[in-house]
Structure 1
């Protein structure tokens, strides 16, 4: 609240310039982004330093580095500008005429489920809306939403920060993918066989599938991970012709070749998980983002 009160003492133009400076960390680039002259941005930075009693940005090589005080201002500044944008935005959103770019974070698993239907919807109903898709760990996606780099994230987020809002897209369960020839003769994958086989693990920057490991830990068991990789789409290709096992959510295995591969239940209980959309609560008044979220939800239902 202290940071927000400090920002309330500054006029809106200076807030916009401060936001650009903290984002670009370079006076010239901030000026180009705002279509202002470099002296005008430098003068604004001098005023901001005087008003806030802090250098805010200090020289480091060819750029600028934010001070600790400036870093404290990033979140309340984004909130203040979002509130102003929401206040000035029209009450209705017309997708047919809108021009907007949304930054959406999701894994390639999420992309495979969400994007085909969503992109067809955008081309049909909102051809002026563009998407920038990024890929990160669960923690990285939530951090992007918190700091304003991401508009909405789609994924599995067991721990949701209080500043964020979410909506359920679907509940998912885990299954095991094996080469059909490697399945035991009785067609059942039991726990000893599961533990004796090498496994493929999907993870991104250390954020893998903790639900599986927790379930095994509760049994006081461990599995051997022979291949660890961040790419969802290529993982099923490793299974054919091998003794590898891939334990993943079921929706990602809709297009496998049943002549070569087989999907079976895991031989131990793994709790189901929820796949959600997450966005910052300060974006609640953004009609365009609300429309996009609804279209994503509707696409999942139809899918």
Structure 2
């Protein structure tokens, strides 16, 4: 049999294709065009002698050979990346040429992402930051190396995931500037608050939270008129209506440094009932503990969060 030179870059492409099960999704993840990804799949089919992914309705499904290769290819790819990543005793941040994928909460994205980008761009101009949405708290992407760092409320029970506390956040009320609720002064009574029409934020349709438990203890209940999937949506609707939103303090800045752009046309207020703060943490897989570049990223995020919040 004739010897064939194998392009090891195909291994990375195969790992992503088998993980995504889609040429389009694999192209997006690798930063390629769909046509380039299709050509790569054709090369992989020629190299392996197997179709790998075949049409099934509107989607694609792996062949038995692809199923057999999936785990082996993932391990090989991860090991190859570890071998080829330089380990420097003293990290030359200015020379870093890496992409970090950070899965973040909406609050972090709204208030701190721009600060993180500015700090990273200043000290490591070769680093690219990819912010990914946080649809759930599944630890799988951290374990698989799809996500390098996660910022938000700890929700995973995976015991191996490393965590670092960043700051305490809390919920605040939000209304349009000039709203009648704030006309009576600084003190808002629970009865008055509950009687307003409210916006609830929920990705899964569940609108009951700590605020509802606290109101229920007083025999009160929110009148929810709108349910939206995210806090930016709630802020936008509150700005243009008489509805009351409930958002994390971090979405609007902190007491010392409010985000004037985010708060344009809006006013925040302390809730008339006591509900607990919640902790925002950084999370990563232990395989990245000793990685100097990853440690630099973690420390950068920690320093920014400390500056923004620990003086609240």
Q: CA deviation at 1:270?
A: 1.3
Aligned residues: 283
Residue 17 of structure 1: how far off its partner (Å) = 6.4
C-alpha distance in 2 between matches for 1:62 and 1:262: 47
Cα pair distance change 1:251/1:193, threshold 3 Å: same
Alignment partner of 1:283 is 2:288: yes
Moved over 6 A (4+): 12-15, 33-37, 67-73, 257-260
Match of 1:272 in 2: 277
Aligned to 1:167, what secondary structure does the other structure show?
strand
Q: Distance in 1 between matches of 2:149 and 2:11?
A: 24
1:171 is displaced (CA, Å) by 0.8
CA separation in 1, counterparts of 2:295 and 2:217? 40
Of 136, 150, 162, the residue aligned with 1:165 is 162
For residues 60 and 294 of structure 1, do their structure 2 counterparts lie closer, same or farther at Cα, with a shift above 3 Å needed?
same
Note the 1:10-49 alignment, pairs <5 A. 16=12, 18-23=14-19, 25=21, 38=42, 41-44=45-48
- d(CA) in 2 for partners of 1:166 and 1:207? 27
Tell me, what secondary structure is at the counterpart of 2:18?
A: helix
> Is the 8 Å Cα contact of residues 106 and 135 (structure 1) preserved in structure 2?
yes
- Compared CA separation, residues 188 and 277, structure 1 to 2 (3 A): same
Gapped regions of structure 2 (runs ≥ 5): 1-7, 28-34, 253-257
- Tell me which moved more, 264-273 or 17-26: 17-26
How far residue 286 of structure 1 moved from its aligned partner, in angstroms, is: 3.3
**What does residue 90 of structure 1 align with?**
86
Per-residue deviation, 1:182: 1.9
Secondary structure in 1 matching 2:93: coil
Cα pair distance change 1:88/1:176, threshold 3 Å: same
Aligned residue for 1:122, secondary structure, equals: helix
Q: What's the RMSD between the two structures over aligned residues?
A: 4.2
TM-score, normalisation: structure 1: 0.72
5 Å-filtered alignment, 1:1-303, equals 16=12, 18-23=14-19, 25=21, 38=42, 41-44=45-48, 59-60=55-56, 64-66=60-62, 78=74, 81-92=77-88, 93-139=91-137, 142-178=139-175, 179-183=178-182, 185=184, 187-206=186-205, 210-213=209-212, 215-216=214-215, 221-233=220-232, 235-239=234-238, 242-253=241-252, 254-255=258-259, 262-303=267-308
Contact preservation (8 Å) 1:203, 1:209: no
Aligned partners of 1:22 and 1:66 also within 8 Å: yes
Match of 2:30?
none
Separation in structure 1 between the aligned mates of residue 238 and residue 15 of structure 2, nearest angstrom: 48
